[in-house]
Amino acid sequence: MDRIEESLDAIYGTPPVGAEVLERLHHSVQQWQEAIWYDALRDSAVGPLLVGVSDQGVVAIEFGKDEAGFVRELEERHGVSAVRSMERVRETMSQILQYLSGNRRSFNLDIDLRDSTQFQRKVLEAAVAVPPGFVATYGEIAARIGKPKSSRAVGQALARNPIPIVVPCHRVVAADGSLTGYSGAGGIETKASLLRLEGATIA
């Protein structure tokens, strides 16, 4: 039996353990992907708007950021080239613009959160579940994901939300209802304007 195991090790190599396994798996997943496609608008209701999509869904939305920086971050995060393609991004961009003009309340888009940790995914998915016109507190999101003492970590995960607006982190507020912590361009003023657009009552 030992000789068989040694032979198998010689053929396949001894598998790495721990974080190295995850890193290699992540790298392999990225290689299945041909590219990240993106498009940019110079102006929108939230300023310059940049959107990135993968073969599995929306991966990035930024506003108020320069195109070169957006492309650089996409390529560094995903390990593939970022290619500008109006056609690939058309539906996502269209739905976002409909939302910003008040003609859409929710999104019918796939989202790609492969680069997020399991905790981050749970937080972002809980944020998606908050309907337009309503808000939830950081503590409520923490309770919904089964981590009632993780309000601060929830806030940190939302601050790193790669898909704002579509993943509505703007609907998550402080325990007293006040608006805190919005990483998008315009900060809290943008957060307030998005909530008003949805008809939410804010403090």
Residues linked to residue 58 through DSSP beta bridges, in sequence order: 53, 111
- Are the CB atoms for 48 and 63 separated by under 8 Å? yes
Q: Which two tokens stand for residue 99?
A: 């939302």
- Tokens representing 63 are 């506003």
Pick left, alpha or beta for residue 59 (phi over 0 → left; psi -120 to 50 → alpha; otherwise beta). alpha
Q: Which of 62, 42, 71 is nearest to 190 (CA)?
A: 62
β-strand pairing of 172-173 with 82-84: unpaired
Catalytic residues: 169
DSSP state of 173: E
Radius of gyration of the CA atoms of the chain, in A: 20
Contact 88, 132 (CB under 8 A): no
